[in-house]
Amino acid sequence: MGELAGRAWQGLSTGTSGARWFWHRQFKKPFFGRFMKPWRWPQGVATDGWERLSFASGSHATLAAVLKRTPVDTPRGVVVCAHPMGLAAKGFWLRNGHADALLQAGFHVLAFDYNGFGDSPSTNFDWPADSLAAGRQARQRFPGLQVHALCASFGAMHTLNALGASDFPFDRIVAEGCASSLPEFWKNYPFAHAVLRLSSLVAPEGERRLRPELAMARLPAHVRVLLVHSHGDPWTPTNHGDRLAAAAPAGARVERLTLTKADHTHGMRDEREAYWPAVHDFLTAA
């Protein structure tokens, strides 16, 4: 601990941007340390047509993203893809078929890395700000088109956690494998759960600000949500969807898709015949 403190103080005294987030990064390690590694383009996925982007986020990070335009003459809109935890980061959507399906359906695709994942540098815990930044970037690049979010697990949580923003940029949200709260998800990981409980005692408002179950109460009337859960998911079983749906305001436009066997975040891979038609219909419905 003394060595860590010394490194932190040395960095703070020099005023470097990396040192500013030193302790944030240390706190992230029990949760995400195994995923905080250099990003590689997904094996077997062609780079043709993909454009690399970077843009600023309210989390003080410059986020990395990739963008591809649909070949369809009249685009339906833009889908921002918010990744689950994992080394693949934004590549999750490219390697599992989501991006190709969206492009063929007439949507531009923007897939980004949250701060601390993929090619995005690690700063703080304001991942909802990253979701907002990606949505705003999509609106800026494609004015006049609807902007939707396709998100899974970690990305789903922090897209829903951004619902209170006055300029929330998404029209429709597909949220797969979304936990109702951080404690409910991390209870499956004893050490990380203990760290989270300790942090909740020290700064309870910080953890409550990252609870999708509470954020759902702020769902704007014009925003539609499709909650996707699976009986085959051991990490975020269907009761998480029950709690999220129950927390939405009366009359909110919340739909459910319950899969039979799909593993966590893998509806497209494990039950494409049920997952993709439902997602496609949700994104394209009038």
Predicted confidence at residue 286, as pLDDT, reads 93
Amino acid letter, residue 100: D
> Could you tell me which residue, 28 or 239, shows the higher pLDDT?
239
| pLDDT of 189 over the 70 cut | no
Q: Between 19 and 213, whose confidence is greater?
A: 213
Of residues 72 and 204, which shows the higher confidence score?
A: 72
Domains in the chain: how many in total?
A: 1
The pTM is what? 0.86
CA angle (154, 61, 28) in 5-degree steps: 50
Parent domain of 164: 2-284
Q: Read off the pLDDT of each residue in 64-80 and give the average, rounded to a whole number.
A: 99
**Phi and psi at residue 190, to the nearest 5°:** -55, -45
Encode pLDDT of 115-134 as tens digits.
999 999 999 889 999 999 99
Q: What is the DSSP string of 38-71?
A: ---PPTT---TT-EEEEEE-TTS-EEEEEEE--S
Q: Which CATH number fits the domain that encloses residue 20? A: 3.40.50.1820
The DSSP result for 108-136, as a single string, is: EEEEEPPTTSTTSPP--S-HHHHHHHHHH
Q: Find the range with the poorest average confidence among 20-29, 62-71, 263-272.
A: 20-29
Mean pLDDT of 248-256: 98
Judge whether 260 and 209 are in contact, CB under 8 Å: no
Tell me which residue of 87, 92, 145, 137 sits closest to 110, measured CA to CA: 137
pLDDT at 38: 84
Phi, psi of 78 (to 5 degrees): -125, 135
